[in-house]
């Protein structure tokens, strides 16, 4: 099933992806997500170091199909990953996946919040 998400933040560079949502108590507005783009399309590792809130983490392939859904626990340094090549990772406030009824196999469509100067077809 196709699902739409509202993207509040996009992390593309290595430095942006390294920091992500760390060190912020209120990194996202409700019902929005952070999008990490992996141009190389290889395995992506996520951890919750210095992340003060629980997150839902979705791993997507190049076709924007959800391959894995993980639960990130605040300040947990356990590495979270999905086997295979992932083009995108979405981080959302804990409970987002349930609220949006997102499941493995769903295809995600990105809607950017106003203010982004980005061509949606290129992400």
The pLDDT, as a whole number, for residue 119 is 45
**Domain extent at residue 95:** 2-110
Is residue 59 included in any domain, yes or no? Answer: yes
With DSSP H G I counted as helix, E B as strand and the rest as coil, what are the percentages for the chain, rounded to 5?
10, 35, 55
Phi-psi region of 69 (alpha: psi -120 to 50; beta: other; left: phi over 0): beta
pLDDT digits (tens, 9 = 90+) for 68-94: 999 999 999 999 999 999 999 999 999
Tell me whether residue 50 is in a domain: yes
Domain assignment present for residue 120? The answer is no
Structural domains counted in the chain: 1
Instruction: Write phi, then psi, for 33 (nearest 5 degrees).
Output: -135, 165
Residue 120 pLDDT greater than 50, yes or no: no
- The span from the CA of 42 to the CA of 61, in Å, is 9
Residue 123 lies in a domain: no
In a domain, 115, yes or no: no
pTM score > 0.75 for this model? yes
* Mean pLDDT, rounded, of the chain: 87
CATH number at residue 48: 2.60.120.1140
Residue 122 lies in a domain: no
pLDDT in tens, 34-55: 999 988 767 788 889 999 999 9
């Amino acid at each position: 099933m196709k699902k739409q998400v509202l993207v509040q933040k996009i992390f593309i560079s290595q430095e942006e992806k390294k920091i992500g949502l760390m060190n912020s108590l209120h990194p996202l507005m409700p019902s929005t997500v952070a999008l990490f783009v992996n141009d190389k399309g290889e395995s992506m590792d996520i951890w919750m170091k210095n992340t003060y809130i629980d997150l839902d983490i979705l791993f997507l392939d190049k076709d924007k199909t959800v391959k894995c859904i993980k639960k990130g626990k605040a300040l947990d340094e356990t590495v979270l990953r999905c086997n295979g090549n992932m083009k995108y990772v979405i981080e959302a406030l804990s409970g987002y996946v349930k609220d949006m009824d997102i499941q493995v196999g769903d295809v995600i469509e990105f809607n950017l919040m106003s203010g982004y100067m980005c061509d949606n077809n290129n992400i």
